[in-house]
Amino acid sequence: MARVRIAAVQMVSVPEVAPNLEAARRLVAQAAHEGAQLVALPEYFCVLGRHETDKLKLRERDGAGPIQDALAEMAQRHRLWLVGGTVPIACADPARVRSACLVYDSAGRRVARYDKMHLFTFHAGAERYDETRTIEPGDAPITLESPFGRLGLSVCYDLRFPELYRRCGNVDLWFVPSAFTAVTGAAHWETLLRARAIENLCYVVAPAQGGLHANGRRTHGHSMVVDPWGEVLAERAEGEGVVLAEVDAGRLAEVRQSLPALDNRRLT
Question: Catalytic: which of 101, 116, 190, 240?
Answer: 116
* Interatomic CA distance for residues 20 and 37, integer angstroms: 22
Contact 100, 153 (CB under 8 A): no
Amino acid letter, 237: A
Please indicate whether residue 43 is annotated as part of the active site.
Answer: yes
Contact 100, 115 (CB under 8 A): yes
* Interatomic CA distance for residues 36 and 38, integer angstroms: 6
Question: Catalytic: which of 46, 101, 156, 202?
Answer: 156
Partners of 90 in the β-ladder: 97
* Interatomic CA distance for residues 202 and 2, integer angstroms: 14
Please indicate whether residue 156 is annotated as part of the active site.
Answer: yes
* Interatomic CA distance for residues 158 and 187, integer angstroms: 16
3-state secondary structure of 256: helix
Catalytic positions, written as ranges: 43, 116, 156
